[in-house]
Structure 1
């Protein structure tokens, strides 16, 4: 019993550092987020950081998995919803994201994976590979839904679903980058309008 409780405490502390540290790194970037700032945000001693993570790079890799695995699971569930047609799933998912931004009183957008992409993709092959794997998994989920749309007659029979999924995924990432720069949801409205045209029956 005591051993199980000790394990739970250790896991909870690691999760806390990952959650708070990811927030810091998202706002300040990889290079702007020091280990001291991460542990202060988590409310733990500096030694705790190095107990769970071999380095800041190791922390970033584990934080990527912690943040994006649940998001990918939610994406897969939304795009696999049998109650909606494949086209409805895709359009509904992105429409809800756009509406979520529109409801913010003060538009703010910070992207953990985007920040790491810009700063570290070339400097750290391990982080670059992890980011690419997450983005590719997202595109794969979208491709599977597009293939279902094609089978249901919602897309042309000769549509290249792999290419279309990559284009949509890349366009969304680009729209989010522009959102961060411009702080204007029109970029997301433009994305959604074009997506509707792309998926027109």
Structure 2
């Protein structure tokens, strides 16, 4: 098997297996469920992953590296002022969920962190690293907004980024429970007020 084919097969297992693990949880998902979802023999799993924990670590990287890259790209674009970039990014996410007939959100990182952050140090560290990168990206954009006079000069941009990130995660959870985008609409309206974007 050439390298490209090997990577494609690994990516297929990661994509399908992560979907199963998000819905069933880490402890509720065995290697058998992962390989069945990917349509491969059980023995093939161990050609790509040393263990279920190794699978979870690689799945975090597979899913969140491109998401972080998109977030950085959106928040560093020079097409609009910093605060508008932030609001625009979340407005697009709201539009995405609004197009769904019954809004659904399955969060792999949320599911893993709830179950495994304390039980598996490697998973806990990887989750924290991803969340820290996200906050750092947002804080950098907020700092640019502060320097350009969009925010008060004494704004603690890192604390504000933490607050926005946590508020968004909470809004997603409420959307998932209520199957309604109303919590996201409230989040966006308050974000616009907070960042003084009209």
Question: TM-score, normalising length from structure 2?
Answer: 0.96
| Corresponding position: 1:50 with 2:34 | no
Query: Aligned residue for 2:102?
Result: 106
| Corresponding position: 1:37 with 2:30 | no
CA apart distance, 1:23 = 1.1
| 2:121 aligned to which of 107, 120, 125 | 125
Tell me the distance in 1 between the aligned counterparts of 2:140 and 2:40.
42
Tell me the distance in 2 between the aligned counterparts of 1:48 and 1:6.
15
CA apart distance, 1:47 = 0.8
Query: Aligned residue for 2:19?
Result: 23
Tell me the distance in 2 between the aligned counterparts of 1:176 and 1:128.
21
CA apart distance, 1:65 = 0.2
Query: Aligned residue for 1:137?
Result: 133
Tell me the distance in 1 between the aligned counterparts of 2:119 and 2:179.
28
Query: Which 4+ stretches in 1 moved above 3 angstroms?
Result: none
**CA RMSD after TM alignment:** 1.1
Query: Aligned residue for 2:74?
Result: 78
Tell me the distance in 1 between the aligned counterparts of 2:101 and 2:3.
41
Query: Aligned residue for 1:200?
Result: 196
Moved more, 7-16 or 149-158: 7-16
Question: TM-score, normalising length from structure 1?
Answer: 0.95
Tell me the distance in 2 between the aligned counterparts of 1:184 and 1:16.
31
Tell me the distance in 2 between the aligned counterparts of 1:145 and 1:17.
35
Query: Aligned residue for 1:64?
Result: 60
Tell me the distance in 1 between the aligned counterparts of 2:187 and 2:171.
7
Gaps of at least 5 residues in structure 2 are none
Contact preservation (8 Å) 2:103, 2:175:
no
| 1:92 aligned to which of 68, 88, 92 | 88
